[in-house]
A and B are shown apart, each in its own frame.
Chain A
Amino acid sequence: MTTASEPREPAIASKASAHARDADAWDAPGASFVAQVWAVARKDLLLEARSRERLVSMGTFAVLVAIVFAFAVDPAVRARSIGGAMVWVTVLFAGTLGMGRSWALEREAEALTGVLLAPIDPGALFLGKWMANMAVMLAVEALIFPVFALFFNLGFQGSIPALAAVVVLATAGFIALGTLFGAIAAHTRLGDTLIPILLLPLLAPVVIFASAATQRLLVGRPAGDVLSQLKMLGAFDLVFLFLCTALFGAVMEE
């Protein structure tokens, strides 16, 4: 009878089958870029689904910020006139909180070294992390928007698809920069404290366009009125995603 920790005679004991296994692995064409992206994203999402560390910490932080705003904002100020800015400042800070944790997963047991020893394209690693971070951030935003609507009585009057487009486009650029700077911060002694210092100045245009578009939609302006902001956010996304993917290999070197 074998116990849980007792090694049984493995398949590689037979030389013929061992050679077949080797040939199988050596002749394989390797994982495609898309398969590598999915492997990394899947792994991160699996880890987050298990621990819910980031969802809980970022979600709790966002609710607390909403409560602080609810007490701090003068009732004489119409919340509708500053709602867009409040929501995006909260998204930004909550997101920044989660970026460091995303790379902390890779530092435990030096797993990142194991990943980098594999024949993985650095761009695939970056996009996989970006994809998983996007999913987590969008889940947190799905909480932030209703919480602010509830606390500030922001009866949404604009186009829901347009608001969704603003959220997705602004988040994509934010997470692209956050994922890159999270990786840089993970390699420094300053660690997570470095992320907001690097991230916030570069994110100013994204926050400005996202706040302005959200504000317009909050007061019931039609989707066509935020088209220019959507185009700008899309342009930033393309630039950020391209640059971050291209620079990621250099960041990962040693």
Chain B
Amino acid sequence: MSAAAAPAPALAARGVEKWYGPLPAVRGVDFTLAPGEFVTVFGPNGAGKTTLLRILCGAVKPTRGTVTIDGEEIGESDGARRRIGLLSHQTFLYPGLTAAENLDFYARLYGLPRRKERVEEALLSVGLQDRRGDRARTFSRGMQQRLALARTLLHAPSVVLLDEPYTGLDPHASAMLRAVLDRLKDGRRTVVLVTHNLSQGLEQADRVVVQVAGRWVSDEPRGAVDTAAFERVYTERVAAAA
């Protein structure tokens, strides 16, 4: 009897590089993530973390290498794009539309069933249910970030990419985001979190990566990382690799 074929990784990058002219942004990144894995990528400014996330979601084409979601190459398949959600520095929202209209627009693009119900659930999940009729333009930075999070998760992506999600959030909203991230750890969703904040980044991580000058200089299971010593270790690694 032949052994069953191994399932495709939820997210895989093979030899991914991105060059802007002579300047490298991402160099030789290779990894595979299993369904349900939560990876936090740390790195100093200019390490290429945001570029890497944009390559992973298909917003930027790599100079070399490939990215696959559940075995399907990103950019080649609508199926792969349906399974990915990106929370970026920018909210990807239309300031002139209300919170509900923004989510409804994205729900239409994704062809989601039970659109109205989903939009209401998404607003509720980020505590904006009472502001559904207000334009995104009138929201504070933190509220816009929460609405952007609702947009990111609206289509129930199986791979969630989060770029500095805590930026601009007050402690209350940060706690809410932490709760949402905890709920994402349901064993079925793969999460890549990029952050500068060491303590927040370590909270939910299963795997801890340090990226410097476009390269992954360390990639360790969370259990192997000493929380108390991490700041010193991280600083040493960044200094050694820079």
Beyond A28-B110, A30-B78, list 19 extra A-B contacts (CB 8 Å).
A2-B127, A4-B128, A5-B127, A11-B121, A24-B112, A25-B112, A25-B118, A25-B156, A26-B158, A39-B109, A42-B108, A50-B135, A109-B136, A109-B144, A111-B92, A113-B59, A115-B92, A117-B92, A119-B78
A12-20, A86-94, A159-167, A212-220: which lies at the interface: A12-20
Residue of B60, B79, B111, B172 with highest tally of chain A CB at under 10 A: B111
Listed in ascending order, the chain A residues whose CB lies under 8 Å from chain B are: 2-8, 10-13, 15, 18-19, 21-22, 24-26, 28-32, 35-36, 38-39, 42-43, 46-47, 50-51, 105, 108-111, 113-120, 253-254
Docked-complex contact A18 and B183, CB < 8 angstroms: yes
Listed in ascending order, the chain B residues whose CB lies under 8 Å from chain A are: 57-61, 78-79, 81-84, 86, 88, 90-97, 101, 105-106, 108-114, 118, 121, 124-131, 135-136, 143-144, 151, 155-156, 158, 172-173, 176, 179, 183, 186, 188
- Nearest B residue to A49 by beta-carbon distance? B96
CB distance from A110 to the nearest CB of B (A): 4
Cα A25 to Cα B144 with chains together (Å):
24
The A/B interface has a contact count, at CB < 8 Å, of 146
- Grouping DSSP codes into helix (H, G, I), strand (E, B) and loop, the A interface class, with mixed when no group exceeds half, is helix
Docked-complex contact A31 and B109, CB < 8 angstroms: yes
Docked-complex contact A4 and B131, CB < 8 angstroms: yes
Q: Which of B81, B84, B156 contacts A22 (CB 8 A)?
A: B156
Contact flag A32-B61 (CB < 8 Å), given A11-B124, A46-B97, A51-B96: no
Cα A32 to Cα B188 with chains together (Å):
27
Residue of A6, A38, A51, A114 with highest tally of chain B CB at under 10 A: A114
Docked-complex contact A4 and B130, CB < 8 angstroms: yes
Contact flag A24-B114 (CB < 8 Å), given A111-B92, A119-B82: yes
CB distance from A120 to the nearest CB of B (A): 5
Closest CB pairs A-B (n = 10): A114-B92, A7-B127, A31-B111, A10-B125, A110-B90, A39-B108, A119-B78, A4-B130, A25-B156, A118-B109
CB distance from B189 to the nearest CB of A (A): 8
